[in-house]
Structure 1
Amino acid sequence: MPLKLFLFLLLVPTLIHSLDPVLNEDVLGLIVFKAGLQDPEGKLSSWNEDDNNPCDWCGVKCNPRTNRVTELALDSFSLSGHIDKGLLKLQFLQILSLSRNNLTGTINPDIAHIGSLTIVDLSENSLSGPIPDEFFQQCGSLRRVSFAGNNITGQIPESLSSCFSLTAVNFSSNQLSGKLPSGIWYLRGLRLLDLSDNLLDGEIPQGIENLYDLRIISLRKNRFSGSLPENIGSCLHLKSVDFSENFLSGTLPESMQSLSSCSSLSLGGNSFAGEAPYWIGDLRNLEELDLSANNFSGQIPNSIGNLQLLQKLNLSINGFGGKLPESMTNCINLLALDVSHNLLVGAIPSWIFKQDLRSASLFENKLTEGEDPWLTSTGTDSHGGLQFLDLSANGFSGELPSDIGVLSSLQVLNMSRNHFYGSIPKSIGELKVADVLDLSENRLNGSIPSEIGGAISLKELRLQKNFLSGKIPAQIEKCSSLQSLILSQNNFSGSVPVAIANLTNLQYVDFSLNVLSGSLPKELTNLSHLLYFNVSHNHLKGELPVGGFFNTISPSSVSGNPSLCGSVVNRTCPAVHPKPIVLNPNSSDSGGYSSRNRGHKKIILSISALIAIGAAAFIVLGVVAVTLLNIRVRSSMSRSAAPLALSGGEDFSCSPTNDPNYGKLVMFSGDADFDAGAQALLNKDSELGRGGFGVVYRTLLRDGRAVAIKKLTVSSLIKSQEDFEREVKNLGKIRHHNLVALEGYYWTPSLQLLIYEFIPSGSLYRRLHDAPGGKCLSWRQRFNIILGMAKGLSHLHQMNIIHYNLKSTNVLIDSSCEPKVGDFGLARLLPMLDRCILSSKIQSALGYMAPEFACQTVKITEKCDVYGFGVLVLEVVTGKRPVEYMEDDVVVLCDMVRGALEEGRVEECVDEKLVRNFPADEAIPVVKLGLICASQVPSNRPDMSEVVNILELIQCPSEGQDELE
C-alpha cells in the first residue's frame, strides 16, 4: 500500500469528524480514488482532503441544491493506475467519464451499482480482462455505456440483455470473441450499438426488427458469417448501418429499401453477390454508400442518379460492367467516387470534370478514350475542384491532353499503365499543387519539358517504362519537395544534373536502364534523406561519390556501368596524372637547331621521355631505400623487448618520423602477449567483419583465450596519443553483462587497435536474417534480447556515453542467447563530434539513425540511441530489416509498422517464423514501445532507464511456463 494512502487511512476518523457528516462520503471516496492514480500533469492538484465538499474540484460537478457529486468527468487527464473502489462512496453519481487516459486493470463490476449512475464511459484506456457478467445485473438507471478502445477479452455477457434502460452500447475496438447474444435485440430502447473491430463470429441472430428506435448499428470488422438480418428494414429510424469487413454473403434483403432515413450504408469487404438492387436509388437520404470488395456484378443501376445527397460512393473491387451511368450527373453533391477494380468500359463521362467532385478513382477497369478526347470539355471555368484523379491500368490511348494544366486543383494525377503516346504537355507545369504525378508504363516520347519546374509542390514524379529521351532538365530542382524521382527504363541521355543534389528531401531515385553518361556529381552525397539510389545499366563513368548514402549503396544499384570505379564496384579508379608536354622536333620553332646539328648522330628526347626516365630512376631508388629500411626495422624489432607481430598481408612497419620501432600495447587485465604462431594477428583469413569505424579480426592470446581486434580506419581523424589513451581507458572501465568488454589497445600514430572480448555466436543481424539451418529465435529469446539491449544502453547513458552507431550488426549474441552491445563510444575517439565525419562513418546504420543527425542545429543526445533502439525493437519483433529493398519499392520498417498499428493489424507484423505462437499481450505493447522510441521528435522518446522499467512491466509472469517456440 502506498505510504500516502496508508497515512491517509490512519487519519480517516479525524477526517470524518472534521467534515460535514452528509458530505464526507464524497470527499473520502474521491480522495481514496485519487490515491490509486498517477497524475503526471497535476490535473487533480485541486483535490484537497481538507475541503468541506468537492464541488470546486477539477472534473467534479455537484447538485447545486444538495452539494452531492453528480458527475465525474476526467477525460484526457493523462491519468494511469487502477479504478479504485472509492468511487462506490459517490452514491449520487450520475455520470462517470474517464475516457482517453491510461487506466489499467479489469472492470470493477460494482461500478454499475452506484446509486443513480446513467452514463459510464471508460473508453480509450488500457483496461483488460472480460466484461464481468455482474456489471449488467441490477444495472438500475444505466443508459449509456462505453468500453471502446481497450484490451477487453472474452464474450459479451448474457446479462447485457436484461439491462432494459440502455440506449447506447459501445464495445468497439477490443478483443471480444464468441457469438452475438440474441437477447440484445430485446433492448427496445437501444439507439446505438457499436461492436466494431472485435473478434465476434457466427451468424447475426434474427430479431433486429425489435429495435424500432435504433439509429446507429456498427458490426464492422468482425468475423460474422451468413446473411444480413432479413427484417433489418423494420428499423425505420436507422441512419447509419455498417456491416463492412466481415464474412457475410448472399444478396441484400428486400426490406432494406424501407430504410428511407439512412444516410450511411457500408457493406464493403464481404462476399455479397448478384446485381446491385435497383431500389438502392430509393434511399434518397444516402450521403455515403460503400459496396466495395464484394462479388457484385452486372451494371451499376441508373437509379443511383436519384441519390442527390450522395457525397461518397465506393463500388470498387467488384465485377461491375458496362458504362458509368450518365444519370450520375444528378449526384450534384458527390465529392468522392471510387469504381476501381471493376470491368467498366467506355469513355470517362464529362460530369466527372464538371461538378464539385474532389476524388475520382477509376483505375484497373477497361475504360477507353472513346470518340472524343476525354478532357475536351474541361475549360478554365468548368474543371471544378478535382484533387485526386486515378485513371491507371485502363485502355486509354492517344496523346495526353495539351490543356491538362487546367485541372489546377489536382494533388494526385495517376495515368500510368495505359497506352498514351506523344510528348508530355508543357501545361504540366501549371499543376502547382500536385503532390504526385505518375505517367509511368505508357508509350510517351520526347523529353521532360523544362516547365516541370512549375509543379513546385511535387513529392513524387514517376515516368518509368516509357520512351522518353533527352536530358534530365535542371529545372527540376525547383520541385524542392520532391521525395521520389523514378525515371528508369527510358532513353534519357546526357549527365545526371548537379541540380539533383539541391533536392534535399529526396529519398528514392531510380535512373536505371537509360543511356546516361558522364560522372555522378559528388554533391549527391549531400542528400541526407536518401534511402534508394539506382543508376544501374547506363554509360556512367568515373569515381562513385564517397560519403553519406553512397558509402553503403548496393553494388546492384550501380551495376552495368563498366566505366564506374570505386570500392562499391570493386574497381580501382585510375590515378590522374597531368598530361605530359611533348615537343615536336619537326615544328618550325626547332628548325634552326635541327639544321645546325644535322650532321651529328644525336637523339633528341621529348620532355615526356625525360619524365618517364626520371620516374623510373626514382622508383628504383625508392625500392632500394624501402628494402634497406625494412631490413633495419626487422633487425630492430627482433631486438625489441615488446614487439607486436603483424602479418597476413597487412604492412604496418612504417612509422612516424620520430618513430619508435614498435607500438604501445596495453591490456587492462590478463596476458599481454599474442600468439604469433599459425594464425598471426590481423590475418585476413580471420577477418570477422567490417563497420563504419574499422575492420574486426579474431586472434588468440598466449593463454589460448580468443579476442576480437578492431583495426580503426579513422587514423587521420584520431586524437593525440594522450587523448586517445584517456578515452580508451575510460571505455575500458565500463563493465556490464549486456556490453562487450574492451580488453586493451595498441597504439602507434599510424595504427590503432582496440582489443575486445570475443563473442563466438555472432551478431543479432545474423540470428535474425541469416540464421544457420533456418533456426528461429523464439519469442522469449527475442524479448530477453530486447530487454538486455535496453539494460546495456541504460548503463551506457548512466556513464554519459552515447553509442552513436546502434544497429543489429553491433549487437552480439552469446552462447546463452544474451545480447551484448558493442562498438559503443567510438565517436569519442574523434577530434570532435563533427556531424559530417559521423555521418560518413556510420551511414552503415541506415534506417537506425535519428532524424536529428540531418539537422545541424539540433544537439545530438542519448535520445539518438533511443531512436536506434526503437528501430532495433521493431527489427527483432518483425524479423525484417529497417529498410527493405523490394523489386519495385522500398519499405521503411517504422512506417510499415506504424501504418499497421493505425489499421489495427499490428499482430500481422510479428515475424511469421513464430507461426503466431507468441503472447499478444507482450508483443503488441513491445511494438508500441518501439514506435514511441522511434518517434521523430526527440522529446517524445523515453529515457532508456524508463524503457527498462516499461519492458519489465510488460513482461508476462512466466515462472514455470514453457518457453514459446
Structure 2
Amino acid sequence: MQFNLFLFLLFAPVLIHSLDPVFNDDVLGLIVFKAGLQDPKAKLLTWNEDDDNPCNWIGVKCDPTINRVSSLVLDGFSLSGHIDQGILRLQFLQTLSLSKNNFTGTINPDLCHLGSLQVIDLSANNLSGAIPECFFPSMWLSGRLPSGIWFLRGLQSLDLSDNLLDGEIPEGIENLYDLREISLNKNRFIGRLPMDIGGCLLLKSLDFSDNFLSGSLPESMKKLASCTSLSLQGNAFTGVIPDWIGVLKNLEILDLSANRFSGWIPKSIGSLQLLNKLNLSMNQFTGSLPEMINCTKLLALDVSHNQLAGNLPSWIFRLGMQSVSLSGINVSRSNYPSLTSITASYHGLQLLDLSSNTFSGEIPSNIGVLHSLQLLNLSTNSVFGSIPAGIGELKSLYVLDLSVNELEGSIPSEIEGAVSLNVLRLQMNFLTGKIPSEIEKCSALTSLILSQNNLTGSIPASIANLTNLHYVDLSLNELSGSLPKELTNLSHLVSFNVSYNRLQGELPVGGFFNTISPSSVSGNPSLCGSIVNRACPAVHPKPLVLNPNSSDSTGGSSSANHRHKKIILSISALIAIGAAAFIALGVVAVTVLNIHARSSMSHSAAPIIFSGGEDFSCSPTNDPNYGKLVMFSGDADFAAGAHNLLNKDSELGRGGFGVVYHAVLRDGHSVAIKKLTISSLIKSQEDFEREVKNLGKIRHQNLVALEGYYWTPSLHLLIYEYESRGSLFKLLHDEHGRGILSWRQRFNIVLGMAKGLAYLHQMNIIHYNLKSSNVLIGSSGEPKVGDFGLVRLLPNLDHCVLSSKIQSALGYMAPEFACRTVKITEKCDVYGFGILVLEVVTGKRPVEYMEDDVVILYDMVRGALEEGRVEQCVDDRLLGNFLAEEAIPVIKLGLICASQVPSNRPDMNEVINILELIQCHSEGQEELE
C-alpha cells in the first residue's frame, strides 16, 4: 500500500563552506545508497563509483560554488528497498525527494543531522513507523494538510497544533487505525470534521479546538468508544449535541465551549460516569440541565453564557465539584439555591463563578470552610448584607469579585488573612467605613477596585506596601484627607483613579504620579499640583511677635499684656474693615459688569451664564432666555466669546448626534463642544442634566472625558476634553494624515479601545455608536473612545430612532439592530469593536465602494483567512513590518467579535485577556515601534 506524505520543512540553512571538499564522500554515500535498492528500470545506470564526483549523475544536482551534492530527486523511478544510511554522507544536501517509489521500512531519524536539509518529499511510498520529531520544526507550519498523511498506518500520535495550517481537513483519517492521539488545535482549518473519523477505533484523545470548523458532529464519532478526551472548543459547530454522546462511556473530558450548539443538552450526558470535566459554555443551549447525579467523578462544570431556563438541579450542589461556573445563564430568580447551601456542600471547591445572574441572599458567615477556594465571583447579582470576616480564612483565594451587588457595611479588616489575593473587585456596592490598613498583608494584590461605594476616611499609607499593584480604582467614594506620599513607591502602577472623592492637599510627586492622567484625580476640588493645574497654597512661617516689654522682668508684664491685646484687636479690626470695603467694591464692580454684559449681549438668542465648581450650581437667573453653562471641575470662560463658539471655521466633524467644534477657554485650555442635533427628542432639562452629570463622572484613560454642558430649551452643548491628534479614522484613512501608524501603535490602540469599552460595560453603559471617527488619539498615542452614553438622552431606546441616529456607523452596526425582537446588549458594542479591529489591522474602511462593486471588510478578511492568505490583509503601508504571531490572532479575534450571533461574541473583559495573551515581548519588538 502506498501512502502520500508531502512535508516541506523549512529548516534554517546552515551554510558550511569547505575549503577542501571530499568529493568521494558524496560518491561513496550515493553508491552505498544504490547498493541497497532494487532498480528494475535501470534508472541509476549512470551512477559510477569510479567518477570523481556525482554532479552529472541522473537525479543529482550540485552546488556550483562548492561542487557538493545539494539535491537528490528520484521521483517515480520505481525504486524499492530501504532509505540507506549512505544518504547521511551527503552533508550539504538541501533537497531530498524520493516520492512515488516503493521504499519500505522506517524513516531514519538520523536524517535530522543533515543540517542543510530544507525540503523532504517521501510521499507515495510504503514507509511505516514514526515520523522523526525534527520533521516538525519549531517555526509555524502553513498551507493545507496533505491527504496522504492519513496513509501513515503505523502512526499513533499526530500533533500539528499551534500552526497556520488551513483549508479543510481531508477525508481518509480512518486509515490511521492505530491512531491514539490527534491534536490539530490552534490552526485555521475550515469546513466539517472528517466524516470517517469514527474509523479510528483506538483514538483516545481528539483536539480540534480553536479553528474555524463548522457543521454538526459526524455520526461516525459514536464509534469512538475508547475516547477519553474530546475538545472542540472555539469553533463554529452548529446543531444539537446528539444523544449518542452518552455512548462514549470512557469520556473524561468533554469541551464543546465557544461554539454555536443549540437545543437541549442531551440527557445521555448523565450516563458518562467517568466524566471529570464538562464545558458547554458560550453556546446557545436552551432548556434545563439534565440529571447528572451518576457523574460522581465530575470535578469541573461550566455551562455559563447560555440560554438555560427552569430550575438548577440539586445534583450540582451534591457532587462536591472543584470548579463550578454558572455565569450568565437564564434561570429565574426563584429557582436559585441559597449561597448557604453552596458552602454546606463544596468544601473542596476551588472555583465558583455565579456572576451575571440574579442570585440573592447574604454571603454565608462560614464562607471560610471553602478553604481550597481560589476564585470567587458573585458579581452582578443581588447579594446583600455585609462581607463576612470569614473571607480572611480563604488562604488560597486568588480572585475575589463581589462587584455590582447590594453589599453594605465595611470591608472587614480580617481580609488580611487572604494572603494569596491577587484581584479584589468590590465596586458598585453600598460599602461604608474606611479602607482597612490591614489590606497591606495581601502582598500579592495587583488589582484593587473599590470604586462607586460610600467609603470614607483617608487612603491608608499602608497601600504603598502593596508593591505588586497594577490597577487601583477608588473613584466615586467619599474619601478624604491627602494622598500618601509613599504611593510613589508603587513602581508597577498602570492605572490609579481616585476621581470624585473629597481628597485634598498636594498630589504625590514622582514615579507614576508624574504622568498620571488629570481625569484620574479630577472631582477633588481641594487637590493641588501641576497635574490639576491648581497651585498649592504657600506655607508661610508663623509671624514672629516681638514684645517691647520683654526686658521688663518686673510687674510691668501685666500692663504690657493688656497693651498687646489692644494692638492685636486693632490689627484685627483693620483687617476686617479692609476686607469689608474690598467686598463692597467687588459687589459694585460685578453689578456694573453684569449690567454691561446684559446690554452688550441683548441681541444674542441664548447668552451664557457661567456656573463652575463641583456642586453643579445653577445660574443665578430665572430668565428663560439665558442659558446655563456648568463645568464639572473649576470655572470656565471662552477666549473668543460665547458668540463665536459655533463658528463654521472651528468645526471638527459631524455625526448622528451632532456637530463638534473646537473652542479655547480663557486659561488656554482647549475643549471640544458638541452641539446636539437631537433637541426635539431630548428629555426634560431635569432628566438631561441628571444623565449628563452621570456621564461626567465617568473617568478612564481610554474614554473621552465629559467636562461640562450648556443648556437652553433650544440649544444643548456638551463640552469634552480636546485631543489635537484627531480621530482614528483620520489617522487610518486621511491622505493628509500625520504618518503611518506602526504595528505596535495599532496593537496598543486595539487594546486601549477594549479597555475603554470594558469600563463602559462595567458601568452598564452601551455605546451603540462605535466607529473609528468616535475614537480619538491622545498626545501619547493612547486611544480614547468618545460619544458614549448619548442614547441615554433619548426618551427610549427605540430601534428605529437608534438606527436613524447611528446610520453613519454603516459597517459597524450589529445585525440585531435590524431585528426588533432581539434585545440590544453590550454584544452590539463587541460587534462594532470587532469591525474596528479589522479596520485598524487592514487600514481599510468597513465598507468600500468601488466603481462596480461594494467590498465588505468582514467578508474580505474572512475569505482571505479561509484561503490561507490572511497575512495579505495586513495594511500594505506597514511594508511587512509587523509581528505575524500577533497580527493573525488579532484578526481572528476581530472576526470572532464580529460574529453574527451575539452569544458567540466574547465580552470585553475576555477580549482584554485574549489581547494580553497575544501580545508578544520579543527582543525584536523595538523595531516595530
The bucket for the TM-score relative to the shorter chain is: 0.5 to 0.7
CA distance in 1, matches of 2:256, 2:498: 44
1:468 corresponds to 2:431: yes
Q: Name the % identity.
A: 52
Structure 1 residue identity aligned to 2:568: S
Check whether the contact 2:99–2:125 (CA below 8 A) recurs between aligned residues.
Answer: no
> Aligned pair in 2 of structure 1 residues 599, 258: CA closer, same or farther (>3 Å)?
closer
Q: 1:107 to 1:288 in 2, by over 3 A?
A: farther
Deviations 1:514-547 (A, max 9, x none): 1111111111111111111100011111111111
Which of 15, 19, 30 is 1:7 aligned to?
Answer: 19
Instruction: Choose the corresponding residue for 2:883, options 924, 939, 963.
Output: 924
8 Å CA contact retained: 2:481, 2:502: yes
CA separation in 2, counterparts of 1:269 and 1:473? 42
More moved, 569-578 vs 293-302:
293-302
Give, in whole Å, the separation in 1 of the partners of 2:271 and 2:347.
22
The equivalences for 1:729-744 within 5 A come to: none
Aligned to 2:264: 299
Instruction: Tell me the residue number matched to 1:606.
Output: 568
Partner of 1:359: 323
Alpha carbons 2:240, 2:263 under 8 Å: kept: yes
1:267 aligned partner = 232
**1:193 Cα deviation from its structure 2 partner:** 4.7
Please tell me the residue identity of whatever aligns with 1:916: V
Contact 2:391–2:418 (8 Å) recurs in 1: yes
- C-alpha distance in 1, partners of 2:265/2:462? 50
Where do residues 54-453 of structure 1 align in structure 2 (5 Å cutoff)? 92-93=84-85, 108-109=96-97, 117-118=106-107, 134-138=121-125, 140=127, 143-144=130-131, 150=137, 173-177=140-144, 189-197=154-162, 204=169, 206-325=171-290, 327-345=291-309, 352=316, 355=319, 357-367=321-331, 368=333, 370=335, 373-376=338-341, 378-379=343-344, 383-453=346-416
Does residue 509 of structure 1 match 2:472?
Answer: yes
Which one-letter code corresponds to 1:436 in the other structure? Answer: V
What is the CA-CA distance between 1:410 and the residue it aligns to? 1.0
Note the C-alpha offset of 1:342: 0.9
Aligned pairs for 1:807-886 (under 5 A) are 874-875=744-745, 886=756
Shift of 1:386: 1.9
Deviations 1:751-789 (A, max 9, x none): xxxxxxxxxxxxxx999999598459999x889xxxxxx
Give the superposition deviation at 1:120.
5.0
The residue matched to 2:293 in structure 1 has which SS? helix
CA distance in 1, matches of 2:883, 2:114: 15
Aligned to 1:913: 843
Deviations 1:876-914 (A, max 9, x none): 876679999635569x999xxxxxxxxxxxx98984438
Q: TM-score, normalising length from structure 1?
A: 0.51
Q: Secondary structure at the match of 1:494?
A: coil
| Deviation sequence 1:360-407 (CA, Å, 0-9, x none) | 22211134474752433644xx53432222111111011112211111
Name the CA shift for 1:23/1:278 in 2 (closer, same or farther; >3 Å).
closer
Q: Deviations over 1:461-507 (max 9, x none)?
A: 10001111111111111111111110001110111111111111111
1:495 equivalent to 2:458? Answer yes
Query: How far apart, in 2, do the equivalents of 1:455 and 1:124 lie?
Result: 54
2-structure distance, mates of 1:148, 1:778: 47
Q: Structure 1 residues 175, 356: closer, same or farther in 2, change over 3 A?
A: farther
What do the CA deviations read for 1:237-286 (whole angstroms, capped 9, x no partner)? Answer: 22223343444444333332222111122233333334322221111011
d(CA) in 2 for partners of 1:16, 1:176 = 33
Matching residue's letter, 1:433? S
Q: How far apart are the structure 2 equivalents of 1:474 and 1:230?
A: 62
Question: Matched residue of 1:298: which SS?
Answer: strand
Out of 536, 540, 564, the residue aligned to residue 499 of structure 2 is 536
**Root-mean-square deviation over aligned CA pairs:** 5.6
Cα contact 2:166–2:188 (8 A) shared by 1? yes
More displaced stretch, 514-523 vs 233-242: 233-242
Q: 1:458 aligns with which of 418, 421, 446?
A: 421
What secondary structure, in the 3-state scheme, does the structure 1 residue paired with 2:324 have?
strand
Tell me the distance in 2 between the aligned counterparts of 1:883 and 1:229: 39
Aligned partner of residue 226 in structure 2, secondary structure:
coil
1:474, 1:499 within 8 Å by CA — same for their partners in 2?
A: yes
Q: What secondary structure does 1:341 align onto?
A: coil
Aligned-partner residue type, residue 575 of structure 1: A
User: What is the CA distance between 1:175 and its match in structure 2?
Assistant: 1.4
1:923-949 CA-to-partner distances (Å, cap 9, x unmatched) read: 337979xxxxxx9xxxx997xxxx79x
Q: Give yes or no for contact 1:121–1:146 (8 Å, CA) kept in 2.
A: no
Q: How does 1:729-808 map to 2 (within 5 A)?
A: 774=734
C-alpha distance in 2 between matches for 1:271 and 1:236: 25
* Cα separation, 1, equivalents of 2:86 and 2:368: 60
Q: Secondary structure of the equivalent of 1:427? A: helix
Question: For the residues of structure 2 that align with 1:142 and 1:95, how far apart are their CA atoms?
Answer: 19
Amino acid at match of 1:233: G
User: Following the alignment from structure 1 to structure 2, what is the Cα–Cα distance between the partners of residues 369 and 87?
Assistant: 75
| AA in 2 matched with 1:518 | G
Equivalent AA in structure 2 for residue 924 of structure 1: L
Distance in 1 (CA, whole Å) between partners of 2:220 and 2:746 is 52
| Contact 1:875-1:882 at 8 Å conserved across structures | no
Q: Look up the SS of the partner of 2:238 in the other structure.
A: strand
CA distance in structure 2 between the partners assigned to 1:552 and 1:573 by the alignment: 18
Cα separation, partners in 2 of 1:320 and 1:107, compared to 1, 3 Å: farther
Moved more, 212-221 or 330-339: 212-221
Instruction: Find the counterpart in structure 1 of residue 522 from structure 2.
Output: 559
CA distance in 1, matches of 2:180, 2:134: 19
Q: CA deviation at 1:213?
A: 4.0
Structure 2 unpaired stretches of 5+: 1-12, 34-67, 74-81, 548-554, 579-724, 761-779, 783-836, 845-872, 888-915
SS of match in other structure, 2:534: coil
* 2:491 is equivalent to residue 479 of structure 1: no
Please report how far the alpha carbon of residue 509 of structure 1 lies from its aligned counterpart in structure 2 after TM superposition.
0.6
Q: Can you list the C-alpha shifts for 1:561-600, whole angstroms capped at 9, x where unaligned?
A: 111111000001111234559999xxxxxxx989989999
Matches within 5 A, 1:595-674: 604-606=566-568, 609=571
Compared CA separation, residues 565 and 243, structure 1 to 2 (3 A): same
Q: Which amino acid aligns with 1:283?
A: L
1:45 maps to none
Go from structure 1 to structure 2 and tell me whether the alpha carbon gap of 1:448 and 1:597 turns closer, same or farther (over 3 Å shift): closer
Instruction: Decide whether the 8 Å contact of 1:471 with 1:493 is kept in 2.
Output: yes
Structure 2 contact 104–126 (Cα < 8 Å) conserved: no
Partner of 1:886: helix, strand, or coil? helix
Q: Secondary structure at the match of 1:144?
A: coil
Q: Distance in 1 between matches of 2:741 and 2:384?
A: 53
**2 CA distance for matches of 1:124 and 1:241?**
32
Q: TM-score, normalised by structure 2?
A: 0.53
1:12-40: CA deviations, max 9, x gaps?
A: 77x999xxx999999xxxxxxxxxxxxxx
SS at match of 2:142: coil
Between the aligned partners of 1:22 and 1:596, the Cα distance in structure 2 is 123
The number of residues matched between the two structures is 586
